[in-house]
Amino acid sequence: MKLSTAIRKGSKGKTQGFGRHWDPKTGAVCALGAARIGAGQGPCYLLDPDSPSIYQIFPDAWTQIETEDGNERIISLIGHFNDTLRWSFGEIADWLDYYGY
């Protein structure tokens, strides 16, 4: 499953959160938490230490792509888009689609 697809699937009905994969008080998830849910996992590996990491579920997340500031890992960019720029789940998924992820 592509990261973009997993984010779209896992974010349905979820409030977007910032700064962590999942907020146990509100149930909000960030884009990476939504991706885990979309892939059939819990929003945070800490809930189930035997569950696969985001890198095991989405090996492409470790891929580096060229940006204006140099090469960045996709997973770092997703975190930046979610937490710093406050892009919506859909905007992040659209960006990933553009690059084939």
Residue-level pLDDT at 20:
86
Confidence of residue 51 (pLDDT cuts 50, 70, 90): confident
Confidence of residue 4 (pLDDT cuts 50, 70, 90): very high
For the cut 80, the answer to whether the pLDDT of residue 29 exceeds it is yes
Give every CB contact of residue 14 below 8 A, 6+ residues apart in sequence. Answer: 27, 28, 29, 34, 37, 89
Confidence of residue 46 (pLDDT cuts 50, 70, 90): low
**Averaged pLDDT, 86-92:** 98
Domain extent listing, the chain: 3-98
For the cut 70, the answer to whether the pLDDT of residue 68 exceeds it is yes
Confidence of residue 88 (pLDDT cuts 50, 70, 90): very high
pTM listed for this prediction: 0.90
- C-alpha dihedral over 20, 75, 72, 64, to 10 degrees? 170
